[in-house]
Copies of this chain bind each other. A is one copy, B any other.
Amino acid sequence: MLSDIEIAQQNVMEPITTIADNCGIKPEELEQYGHYKAKVSLDIFNRLKDRPDGKLVLVTAITPTPAGEGKSTTSIGLGQALNKIGKNAIIALREPSLGPVFGIKGGAAGGGYAQVVPMEDINLHFTGDMHAITAANNLLAAMIDNHVHQGNELRIDVRQVSWRRVMDMNDRALRHVTVGLGGKVCGFPREDGFMITVASEIMAILCLATSLEDLKRRFGNIVIGCNLDGDPVYVHQLGCEGAMAMLMKDAIKPNLVQTLEHTPAIVHGGPFANIAHGCNSILATKLALKLGDIVITEAGFGADLGAEKFLDIKCHYGDIYPDAVVLVATIRALKMHGGVAKKDLGIENPKAVGEGFVNLAKQVENMRAFGLPVLVAINKFATDTPAEIDMLLQKCDSYGVDVTLNECWEKGGAGGIDMAKQVAAMVEGTDIKPVMMYDVNEPIPTKIEKVVQRIYGGNGVEFTPNAKKQIQQLEAWGLDKLPVCMAKTQYSLSDDPTLLGAPKDFTITVQDVRVANGAGFIVCQTSNIMVMPGLPKKPAALAMDVTEDGKITGLF
């Protein structure tokens, strides 16, 4: 089989004007970025305000292996397949970060015959959203240090500035730095650190804002650290939320691209799935709902992490709710949950598939706790054997959950016809009542406990002394009445990555509790989350090249 980039480069794309026309976007609402990418003006919401929303399908997954289980590929394949059976389906996805492209991870635009294109552009600068976020984030950082340098009227405590600079690059040397060296004309020295751009609160805000006004208001609410009295300092006190919003005036507009089969795809926003909520922007999803009859979107990591945050954070702020869930499972991951070592995952083992089913069952149960109908979608790999697949089908049947085999990676939309038919039937005439796992007005510990008990299957929560102190501070500041954004390992339902399957009788330990007051959630970390990756011994960058005619090689 060809590589992803070879498949993408062989594909003959439609002009983006054709894609836009096909899904009802008017020429004056379309801002082209080259021939195959475009931004869509927010004016379109006014024109389409009376059109009823389409049905929303959330693609999530079982607890994944480190390689991931193919949620993007399944989402794209499902969109393609729905169009193949005559449905007006649109896909809404996250946009990838540039930095990791040069390391090991590579790009993020689906795979095989289920990709969004132009994959090179989507994985590189795309329409500049990441760069706008970097600029807005770093303007704020410069304004903070400049405020201190120019007299520090707000009495910002340089030891307690929590706002960090960002760069869209895997660069470990920037994790911990000292800035402001060089003497009096260079400001006050202090410790600082860079995060990768997608970890910025600016990204989370972009993805939760419902308008440019809302974006600006959220920027103003960001807490950048404390003053010398220990009180929070807000961006609106510094007065640069207008300039920051100005930098984001184009970035806030959703991006339109297409799949290999010309299905419209709205690819916009991509926050971290641990310290943030891990879904594409609310505006992208809302736009897709105005344009399509069925909208496919995804959430990061497994259902316990990504789908929970999609439902309790994104749906909460966006006033949206899915009509159905597609839960992606792979034979490999089930075998892992069944106790098979990583090196043995290629060996046939139907028994382990059966034993690993407990994880899938728990994630199905989690989605049902939100009142949502679930379809399990097996993302088929060439190494899967009929006996293993039979075992999974049989387990799904006895558990009482619908299941489909999806071969979209290998066959594109044609590999997902059954999945598409089942999804189309599931969303027909649904009337789902939104559910949240907690009330945002409950105390922080209660909100976390409810997620742990109802979704993770644990007994309760412990808090380190540090976390307790942080919670008290947020309560004292009155900044605790927000959804919680859980940051824990994606490799287990618990906070211990070695506990596979569906662990029981465990507690979660919360170590760090911080408010992302602009985004509007409280980040609860159960371990240190890496916010600036590094490059490996042989970075992917070494194999990358571009020919005189602009053709790229070595990107994957």
Contacts and interface: CB of A to CB of B under 8 A. Distances in A.
A444 interface: no
A16 B387 CA distance: 60
A536 B343 CA distance: 59
A397 interface: no
B145 A171 contact: yes
A82 interface: no
A146 B243 CA distance: 35
Given A142-B535, A169-B138, A176-B181, A548 B211 contact: yes
A418 to B, nearest CB: 39
Interface stretch (A106-114, A284-292, A345-353, A539-547): A539-547
Interface in A223-237: none
A246 B211 contact: no
Contacts of A172: 145-146, 149, 180, 185-187
Contacts of A125: 128, 131-132, 135, 247, 250
Interface in A133-191: 134-135, 138-139, 141-143, 145-146, 149-151, 165, 167-182, 185-187, 190
B139 A243 contact: no
A284 to B, nearest CB: 18
B150 A138 contact: no
Contacts of A33: 31-34
A145 B534 CA distance: 10
Contact of A247 (B34, B124, B240): B124
Contacts of A547: 212
A335 to B, nearest CB: 31
A548 B537 CA distance: 47
Given A212-B547, A242-B554, 16 more contacts: A31-B33, A102-B139, A128-B131, A138-B167, A138-B171, A142-B535, A143-B539, A146-B535, A176-B182, A178-B178, A240-B539, A242-B545, A243-B542, A243-B544, A243-B545, A249-B550
A534 B146 contact: yes
A163 B59 CA distance: 44
Contacts of A186: 172-173, 175-176
A52 to B, nearest CB: 24
A213 to B, nearest CB: 5
A57 B139 CA distance: 38
A173 B150 contact: no
A532 to B, nearest CB: 9
A265 to B, nearest CB: 20
A368 interface: no
Give how many copies assemble into the complex. 2
26 contacts: A31-B34, A31-B35, A34-B39, A125-B131, A125-B250, A131-B134, A141-B173, A142-B169, A146-B534, A150-B537, A172-B180, A172-B185, A172-B187, A176-B181, A178-B178, A182-B193, A212-B548, A216-B546, A240-B541, A243-B541, A243-B554, A246-B544, A246-B545, A246-B552, A249-B550, A249-B552
Interface in A317-334: none
A497 interface: no
B98 A135 contact: yes
A128 B175 CA distance: 26
A135 to B, nearest CB: 6
A448 interface: no
Nearest first, the 3 closest Cβ-Cβ pairs linking A and B are: A176-B182, A242-B545, A131-B131
Interface in A520-556: 534-537, 539, 541-542, 544-550, 552, 554-555
B143 A535 contact: yes
A465 interface: no
A239 interface: yes
Interface residues of A, number: 79
A89 to B, nearest CB: 27
A245 interface: yes
Nearest to A251: B125
A239 B181 CA distance: 32
A386 B413 CA distance: 77
A283 to B, nearest CB: 13
A186 B170 CA distance: 11
A503 B519 CA distance: 59
Contacts of A34: 31-33, 39, 250
Contact of A178 (B170, B177, B550, B555): B177
Nearest to A125: B128
A108 to B, nearest CB: 17
Contacts of A182: 175-176, 193
Contacts of A149: 172-173, 534
Nearest to A148: B173
Which of A534, A537, A541, A547 has most B Cβ within 10 Å? A541
A303 B423 CA distance: 70
